Amino acid sequence: TDKWIATPTRTKEILETHGFAFKKSLGQNFIVDVNILNNIIRKAGIDKRAGVIEIGPGIGALTEQLAIHADKVVAYEIDQRLYPILDETLASYSNVRILQEDILEADAARMIETYFASDQPVHVVSNLPYYITTPILMRLLRDQLPVTSLTVMIQKEVADRMAAEPNQKSYGSLSIAVQYYTEASVVMNVPKNVFMPPPNVGSSVLKLTRREQAPVEVDNEAYFFTIVRACFAQRRKTLRNNLIRHFNTTDKLQVVETLEASGIDETRRGETLTMAEFAVLSNTFYRLIE
């Protein structure tokens, strides 16, 4: 048999031996190409000092390569059917821990304290279950976990939105939400034939590098994100129309005057504003209207 789990023959053999059938509802598309995995690990900047958090190890394809390149790997898997399989496939890697938990319920901050050294760089590396890409990433970012970077395989369309810049067609509130916490870039596009079964959407690897400090100063973060979302609510509409609609007020003049006070032209569209401009806009509204 092949040496690595991440090959079509070895994967088929493991699945057959255990009578495992993929669950689409859990986003199960396993990688069967070891070169792709090693590219992801290289882009993530993993070395022998690194602690790695993996989400969804599957049968251990990526986990195995991470175990070889990193100091330690802690992986969250929700599907109980995979626990006995992982016990077997990863038996010879003593630096891997599988946590039998739903990542959306997990206390990752506590886990990091428990499993990694306090001076150890910790990275997230994962081929994510696509049906919960955004909730997983936003939860990890909002929790302000002490991780250096997150390098994740996700659907191409979402990767493009998260990394988009002003005036690009994918730019929107998700771009701002992600880039408020991290520097984002798409580092690789990945063909469908490296997965078993192939997903029905395109895939890309997104790298997020956590910022030490927020890139803009906002009076109230929740309010800032609410204003950003409001400005993109109807993409074809101007800031003026989206904000009037958002504040749902009969006093349109107040919205228009606040916009004027912000110094940002009311006829612009959300898609043209930089994060710094959104910060000015939301701070002005927060001070004058809230």
Q: Which residues are annotated as a binding site for S-adenosyl-L-methionine?
A: 29, 31, 56, 77, 102, 127
- Smallest separation (angstroms) from ligand SAM to the CB of 11: 8
The pattern of x and - marking residues 125 through 164 that bind ligand SAM according to CB under 6 A reads: --x-x--x--------------------------------
> Does residue number 57 form part of the binding site for ligand SAM (CB under 6 A)?
yes
- Contacting residue, 15, 26, 111, 188, with ligand SAM by CB under 6 A: 26
The span from the CA of 186 to the CA of 177, in Å, is 16
Determine phi and psi for 141, rounding to 5 degrees: -70, -45
> Contact 96/67 with Cβ under 8 angstroms?
yes
Strands 30-31 and 72-76: what pairing?
unpaired
For ligand SAM, give the closer residue by CB, 136 or 239: 136
For ligand SAM, give the closer residue by CB, 91 or 104: 104
CA dihedral 200, 202, 205, 211 (to 10 degrees): -100
- Smallest separation (angstroms) from ligand SAM to the CB of 27: 5
Please list, in sequence order, all residues whose beta carbon lies within 8 angstroms of the beta carbon of residue 114, skipping any fewer than 6 positions away: none
The span from the CA of 107 to the CA of 74, in Å, is 13
Q: How many residues bind ligand SAM (CB under 6 A)?
A: 22
CA 117 to the chain's CA centroid: 24
CA 221 to the chain's CA centroid: 19
The annotated binding site is made up of 29, 31, 56, 77, 102, 127
Which residue type is seen at 113? E
Q: Which of residues 82-121 bind ligand SAM (CB under 6 A)?
A: 102-104
- Smallest separation (angstroms) from ligand SAM to the CB of 186: 18
Segment near ligand SAM (CB under 6 A), from 21-29, 39-47, 210-218, 232-240? 21-29
Compute the radius of gyration of the chain from its Cα atoms.
22
Contacts with ligand SAM, residue ranges (CB under 6 A): 26-31, 55-58, 61-62, 76-79, 102-104, 127, 129, 132
